Amino acid sequence: MTNRSRTGIVSVTMIEKMEVELLDVDKLIEEFESVTKNAENVQRDTLKKILEENGCAEYLQNLGLNGRTDPESFKACVPLVTHNDLEPYIQRIVDGSSSPILTGKPITTISLSSGTTQGKPKFVPFNDELMETTLQIYRTSYAFREREFPIENGKALQFIYSSKQSHTKGGLIAGTATTNVFRNSQFKNAMKAMQSQCCSPDEVIFGPDFHQSLYCHLLCGLIFREEVQFVSSTFSHSIVHAFRTFEQVWEELCADIRGGVLTSRITYPSVRSAMAKLLKPNPELADLIHQKCSGLNNWYGLIPALFPNAKYIYGIMTGSMEPYLKKLRHYAGGLPLLSSDYGSSEGWIGANVNPKVPPESATYVVLPDIGYFEFIPLKENVEEHVQDKVSNSFLSKEPKPVGLTEVKVGEEYEIIITSFGGLYRYRLGDVVKVTGFHNSSPELKFVCRRNLMLTINIDKNTEKDLQLAVEAASKLNAEEKLEVLDFSSHVDLSTDPGHYVIFWEINGEVGDEVLKECCNCLDRSFVDAGYVSSRKVNAIGPLELRVVRKGTFQNILDHYIGLGAALSQFKTPRCVGPRNSEVLRILCDNVVKSYLSTAF
């Protein structure tokens, strides 16, 4: 990893020093304030650095930049692209070409996206520069978090899992984005400097079976229960999943602690050996945990009961993670939930510098020196209509992208990212809303993924619309103290007209009359004008609610883990399309009840 002049990036020497020296919070915040005060110039400098480093790359050479590094020339020569446009170039890298294809220096590592959106993982170039931006984002959000919730010589119960790294046909290291970070030699030193040392040994984090790793994470947390100062995972789903698992295995965990002998369910020698060094007979601790668990009402406040010195719970809690917040708050009791930063497998975008804000309202300030950002306006009335002289018809022309400091408060945009990892004017597919500015850099609120949308006719319902509909309908189960454990959806075009299908997994038995009304409520809760009008004229058929047997969404998780995904990177697919045929098969094969709406 080379030292860079970008603000906030540190050299190898500094990172090694972090082993014994905590980060200077005030200095980190000062650096952040500096780059966001002069965001426009920082953006120009960042683009210049990206193009200078990668100017010899074949991709840029073929576009005729000829060494120019100014934004105007860049936008004139380089087209907007999607991942499909870059796949041929990335595939050559994956196959082992050492020539400068997308970047000046050879790419040695490939990140795999989770695959839950498109049905299969995407290959994304990963290099030292992207690792630097990862550490920069981590340090920035840590500084603001530490200012509000200071940690003192504690440990973190982190539900992190590193799947195996493999090698591509061309010999490159390949792994999930989280795996590439967790296995990076500088990551652990950085975590120590941020007082984020995981309770669990490496053998657990890098264990070959995530079920066994999860059990050991829980056991390590209990062993160090007095030292745990926060609980975290990449996604809130992983935290909820961990404590749902705890409900099933807590007595077994107590038995392990009481006798000092690890359960036989842990079969991998390396994991057993590492845990044997931590696990000693402790009947008093086992009795205390048993007492705490026995005294809880429906597991409310489980986390602070187990970890009395925990100050907060931390992870990505926006977008597809929002549906898990209700259950997470149940486990958290009064502990605050802090949403972590905004990024993707392709690169980082912004940091949460207002950690006290509830996750539903979390915003992210773009760091103008970690990439070059553009934004496509999505407001319909800004679209220009041009007449095609051949067909004499009117065509919609997509608005031109605007720069980082040109966005307007209250408007929605699709993000375009140009990264140090070889992605140029790359359409991320995320829709964000500008809620304000921090100095001269915008604050963004995540809205949805553009391609995750239920649509049949003129209807356009996003993942957020689906979530709100499920929340409204699930309230009808509240009187029976039942909850929707997870959900997904599908557009069924095999019927005429097509219709929405919503899949629910519920934690108990619900009567038919209640579920019929839930189905009607789901249908009524999609308030998009295109949907409502289409339903009224039967251009869209009655919504269908399909209840699946318990464990179905665990089967979906197991499916993705089997494909090489990491639990810490898993997102439940909310809109299952043709590319996710195996997930759709799992859902359909496990349907136990089905209802059609009579709401319209």
Does the pTM exceed 0.85? no
CB atoms within 10 A of CB 471: 15
Beta bridge partners of 443: 365, 436
Cis ω before 497 (30° cut-off from 0): yes
Please return the burial class of 432, using the count of CB atoms within 10 Å of its CB with bins 0-12, 13-18 and 19+: buried
pLDDT of the chain, 600 residues: tens digit per residue: 333 333 333 333 333 333 446 778 899 999 999 999 999 999 999 999 999 999 999 999 999 888 899 999 999 999 999 999 999 999 998 888 888 999 998 888 888 775 555 556 788 888 888 888 888 998 999 999 999 999 887 889 999 887 677 778 778 877 777 777 777 777 777 766 665 678 999 899 888 888 899 999 999 999 999 999 999 998 898 999 999 999 999 999 999 999 999 999 999 999 999 999 999 999 999 999 999 999 999 999 999 999 999 999 999 998 888 888 999 999 999 999 999 999 888 889 999 999 999 999 999 999 999 999 999 998 753 333 333 333 333 344 678 999 999 999 999 999 999 999 999 999 998 999 999 999 999 999 998 877 667 888 888 888 888 989 999 998 887 766 688 999 999 999 888 899 999 999 998 888 899 999 999 999 999 988 888 888 988 889 999 999 999 999 999 988 887 777 667 667 888 888 877 888 999 999 999 999 999 988
Q: Is the dihedral of CA 496, 498, 504, 510 positive or negative?
A: negative
What is the Cα–Cα distance from 359 to 445, expressed in whole angstroms? Answer: 10
Structure tokens at 411: 């408007």
User: Which run of H or of E encompasses 133?
Assistant: helix 128-148
Structure tokens belonging to residue 403 = 């720069």
Write the DSSP assignment of 349-395 as a string of letters. Answer: EEE---TTS-GGG--EEE-TTSSEEEEEE--GGG-EEEEETTTTEEE
Helix (H) or strand (E) holding 518: helix 512-525
Cα separation, 185 vs 192, in Å, equals 13
Tell me, what amino acid is at 90? I
**Closest listed residue to residue 376, CA positions, set 345, 407, 418:** 407
Q: What is the pLDDT of residue 566?
A: 67
Cα dist from 202 to 20, 149, 161, 273, whole Å: 20, 27, 10, 12
Q: % helix / strand / coil in the chain, to the nearest 5?
A: 40, 20, 35
Q: Rounded distance, CA 155 to CA 150, Å?
A: 13
- Contact call for residues 246 and 282 (beta carbons, < 8 A): no
So what's the pLDDT on residue 52?
Answer: 94
Distance of CA 267 to the CA centre of its chain: 30
**pLDDT at residue number 192:** 67
User: Any idea which residue has 């683009």 for tokens?
Assistant: 47
pLDDT at 172: 80
The answer to whether 470 and 449 have CB atoms below 8 angstroms apart is: no
Residue 511, phi then psi, degrees to nearest 5? -65, 155
Query: What pLDDT was estimated at residue 12?
Result: 33
* Among candidate residues 510, 469, 509, the one with its CA nearest the CA of residue 488: 469
Is residue 588 helix, strand or coil? Answer: helix
Report CA 356 to chain centroid distance, whole Å. Answer: 20
> What is the CB neighbour count within 10 angstroms for residue 337?
20
User: What is the amino acid identity at position 509?
Assistant: E
| 118 burial level (CB within 10 Å; 0-12, 13-18, 19+) | middle
Tokens representing 528 are 């998009």
Q: Report which DSSP code applies to 321.
A: G
DSSP 8-state code for residue 116:
T
Q: Are 266 and 272 in contact (CB under 8 A)?
A: yes
The predicted structure's pLDDT at residue 152: 82
| Residue pair 436/350 in contact by the 8 Å Cβ criterion | no
| CA 396 – CA 380 distance, rounded (Å) | 10
Q: Are 417 and 428 in contact (CB under 8 A)?
A: yes
Per the listing, tokens 């308030």 go with 527
What confidence score (pLDDT) does residue 14 get? 35
DSSP string computed for 261-287: ---TT---HHHHHHHHTT----HHHHH
Q: Report residue 274 as tokens.
A: 């590492």
